[in-house]
Each structure stands twice: as C-alpha cells, then as structure tokens.
C-alpha cells in the first residue's frame, strides 16, 4: 500500500461484514499488528458463526477489522486492528463504534475487551470511547508474557 493510496482510501471508508475474499488482506494486517496473530482458521470460524460480529473497514482494500462475540451480557471485542499505514485516521474508533452499536442492537449491557498492559495506544482509544479499567488478568498473554488490562464500557439503557 503506498502512502498516497492510504490517504485517498481513508477519505471514503465503509464498514461492512467481513467476507472470505477479505482474508488475505485481513491476515496481512493481523501479522503486522500482533506478536501472536490469529490463524486463518480463527477468522474463517468468525465469518461462519452467525452470532459473531466480523466487520472490515475498507475502501478499495481492507484497512482494518474487528471481531466481536456475545459473552454473558456483554459483547466481547476479541480482535481489532488497523493497517499500520492507516492508523490515527479514526478507523479504530469507527470499528469500536460499530461494535458498540451492535451491542445496543442486541440489547446487551456493555462491551468488554482485554488489552496488553504495554499497549498504551489502544488503551487511549478505549479510554476516549468511555471504556473503564475493570481489573488486571495476570499472565493473560504469552510471547511475550504480559498481563492484560480488562476494560469495559457500560451501555446506558
């Protein structure tokens, strides 16, 4: 992706349901974003599961994605990432907003997620969207080993 392509693409981005044909681009972003990336099979399962939310933010190509699943009375945001060259352009916020809207449509109580303690960028995003710290999960991550900060957004009724 060239810088100019990223800039023009970011001006006309749609958020839509993830499809099988998105997976090559989704996996490239996943590999660039996480030390322990999800395998293709995890995304294939997410696409196939009717109760999971799997969306991409895309222009002429995939720029970001989010996977969420209902968990007890909340929507668990299980995965979210934006292409490294498309970051700081509001796409992460749009994807989380989509998840929050989905949780409201399902009449759930809130949204929740886990984030590496060192991932201050993501924590700042969640904080700005109203998520609050809800405890630390010791040893939650491996490769590298790290605790997780559990964060939750309570939805108003």
Ligand X SMILES: CC(C)(COP(=O)(O)OP(=O)(O)OC[C@H]1O[C@@H](n2cnc3c(N)ncnc32)[C@H](O)[C@@H]1OP(=O)(O)O)[C@@H](O)C(=O)NCCC(=O)NCCS
Binding site for ligand X (CB under 6 A): 33, 80-82, 87-93, 113, 115, 119, 121-122, 124-125, 128
Distance CA 91, CA 74 (A): 22
Comparison of 82 and 108: residue with beta carbon closer to ligand X: 82
Comparison of 39 and 50: residue with beta carbon closer to ligand X: 39
Comparison of 107 and 131: residue with beta carbon closer to ligand X: 131
* Nearest distance in Å: CB 126, ligand X: 8
Comparison of 17 and 121: residue with beta carbon closer to ligand X: 121
Task: Quote the tokens at residue 70.
Answer: 């209902």
* Nearest distance in Å: CB 140, ligand X: 11
* Nearest distance in Å: CB 124, ligand X: 4
* Nearest distance in Å: CB 80, ligand X: 5
**DSSP calls for the chain:** --HHHHHHHHTS-EEEE--GGGHHHHHHHHHHH-SSPPPHHHHHHHHH-TTSEEEEEESSSEEEEEEEEEETTEEEEEEEEE-GGGTTSSHHHHHHHHHHHHHHHTT-SEEEEEEETT-HHHHHHHHHTT-EEEEEEEEEETTTTEEEEEEEEEPP-
């Amino acid at each position: 992706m060239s810088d100019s392509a990223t800039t023009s693409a970011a001006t006309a981005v749609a958020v839509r349901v993830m499809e099988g044909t998105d997976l090559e681009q989704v996996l490239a972003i996943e590999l660039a974003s996480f030390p322990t990336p999800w395998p293709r099979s995890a995304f294939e399962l997410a696409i196939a599961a009717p109760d999971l939310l799997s969306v991409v933010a895309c222009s002429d190509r995939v720029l970001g994605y989010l996977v969420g699943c209902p968990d007890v009375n909340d929507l668990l945001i299980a995965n979210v990432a934006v292409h490294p060259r498309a970051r700081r352009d509001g796409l992460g916020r749009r994807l989380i907003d989509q998840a929050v809207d989905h949780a409201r449509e399902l009449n759930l109580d809130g949204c929740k997620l886990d984030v590496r303690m060192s991932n201050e960028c993501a924590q700042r995003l969640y904080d700005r969207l109203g998520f609050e710290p809800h405890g630390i999960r010791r040893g939650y991550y491996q490769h590298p080993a790290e605790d997780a900060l559990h964060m939750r957004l309570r939805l108003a009724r």
